């Protein structure tokens, strides 16, 4: 653990600080988190408030992002939509990382028949295109943000499992693991006390990149009408309402589209930066 602490201070943080794209992505991520938490305080209007006198009003000083087909303020809906999208991203990735980490640790540590059986399950899951698998499952469920988070999480753990398994296979052969076995440590203690803390680096990278993928998937599902249902605002269903008026109400598609683009790009840049900072083969 002292080595890891020294590595973080002497190598990881300097590398990450020197990566301007990663720092920019991380800054945007922090801003988005603050916006999602403070949306009720900073939103200029109630996102569900209907104003028949201001239907499809273009951007102005009163409504910076314009209004939609019901006269609702688009800026307020985009701000509240950030809460939904980020909630889906964090919860879905939390489910995927938890499942993938546990399976990867068990598979890598016990190896043999256990490893073969678990990896065949992973291979079977990877045979199905993830998005179409999610579509098929969501079709049979009632549209709900909680179902969306669970389905995205339950169909996105395979990559994490493979990464953690590879790390575990390497770590389990090290001397301090042999020493832990010699003094009588239980398998569960060795796995979660000694192996997991040293295998967490790829999990961190995968989680950061996975949040971007989960947000994009939720937006796509909401755009197709099987995700978050109105009147709850999400970036996907704001885009859905905007596609019917795109010829003369461009702001309905532009601003939520930019929100998705900036968010996904920022998480990808941050994830790539963390991966480069943790990779000893990358020289900076």
CATH code (residue 264): 1.10.3720.10
Residues 77-93: what's their mean pLDDT? 89
Q: Would residue 237 count as lying in a domain?
A: yes
Q: Would residue 68 count as lying in a domain?
A: no
pLDDT digit string, tens, across residues 8-32: 555 667 777 787 888 888 899 999 8
Show the CA angle centred on residue 203, arms to residues 201 and 205, nearest 5°: 75
CB 164 within 8 A of CB 199: yes
d(CA 245, CA 206): 38
d(CA 162, CA 118): 10
d(CA 223, CA 234): 9
Q: Is the pLDDT of residue 133 over 80?
A: no
Q: How many domains does the chain fold into?
A: 1
Helix (H) or strand (E) holding 2: helix 2-7
* 142 vs 81, more confident: 81
Residues 47-74: what's their mean pLDDT? 86
pLDDT digit string, tens, across residues 219-247: 888 888 777 777 788 888 888 888 888 88
Query: Cis peptide leading into 231, omega within 30 of 0?
Result: yes
Closest by CA to 260, choosing from 218, 227, 228, is: 218
Q: Is the pLDDT of residue 282 over 60?
A: no
Q: Would residue 4 count as lying in a domain?
A: no
Which residue range(s) make up the domain with 101? 81-278
Q: Would residue 39 count as lying in a domain?
A: no
CB 16 within 8 A of CB 23: yes
CB 219 within 8 A of CB 239: yes
d(CA 48, CA 76): 9
d(CA 69, CA 268): 33
Tokens encoding 10: 């002497």
Distances (CA, A) of 64 to 43, 78, 202: 11, 11, 41
Q: Would residue 156 count as lying in a domain?
A: yes
| Torsion sign (Cα): 131, 134, 140, 141 | negative
Q: Would residue 269 count as lying in a domain?
A: yes
Q: Would residue 258 count as lying in a domain?
A: yes
Distances (CA, A) of 67 to 61, 100, 279: 12, 42, 47
Q: Residue 148's pLDDT is what?
A: 83
pTM over 0.75: yes
Closest by CA to 260, choosing from 78, 135, 105, is: 78
Q: Would residue 43 count as lying in a domain?
A: no
| Torsion sign (Cα): 249, 227, 260, 53 | positive
Residues 126-132: what's their mean pLDDT? 79
Q: How far is CA 201 from the centre of its chain?
A: 16
């Amino acid at each position: 653990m002292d080595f890891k602490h020294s590595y973080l201070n002497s190598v990881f943080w300097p590398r990450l600080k020197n990566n301007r794209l990663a720092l920019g992505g991380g800054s945007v991520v922090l801003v988005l988190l603050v916006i999602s938490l403070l949306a009720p305080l900073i939103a200029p209007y109630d996102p569900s408030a209907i104003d028949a006198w201001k239907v499809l009003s273009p951007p102005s000083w009163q409504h910076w992002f314009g209004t939609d087909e019901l006269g609702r303020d688009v800026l307020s809906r985009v701000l509240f939509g950030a809460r939904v999208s980020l909630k889906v991203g964090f919860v879905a990735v939390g489910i995927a990382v938890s499942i993938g980490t546990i399976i990867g640790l068990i598979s890598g540590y016990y190896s043999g028949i256990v490893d073969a059986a678990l990896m065949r399950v992973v291979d079977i899951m990877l045979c199905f295109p993830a998005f179409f698998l999610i579509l098929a499952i969501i079709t049979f469920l009632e549209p709900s943000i909680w179902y969306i988070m669970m389905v995205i999480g339950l169909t996105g753990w395979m990559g994490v499992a493979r990464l953690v398994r590879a790390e575990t296979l390497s770590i389990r052969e090290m001397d301090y693991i042999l020493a832990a076995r010699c003094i009588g440590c239980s398998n569960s203690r060795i796995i979660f006390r000694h192996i997991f803390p040293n295998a967490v680096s790829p999990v961190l990278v995968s989680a950061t990149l996975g949040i971007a993928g989960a947000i994009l998937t939720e937006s796509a599902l909401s755009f197709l009408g099987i995700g978050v249902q109105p009147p709850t605002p999400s970036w996907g269903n704001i885009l859905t309402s905007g596609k019917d008026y795109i010829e003369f109400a461009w702001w309905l598609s532009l601003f939520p589209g930019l929100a998705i683009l900036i968010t996904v790009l920022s998480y990808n840049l941050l994830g790539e930066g963390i991966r480069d900072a943790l990779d000893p083969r990358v020289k900076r």
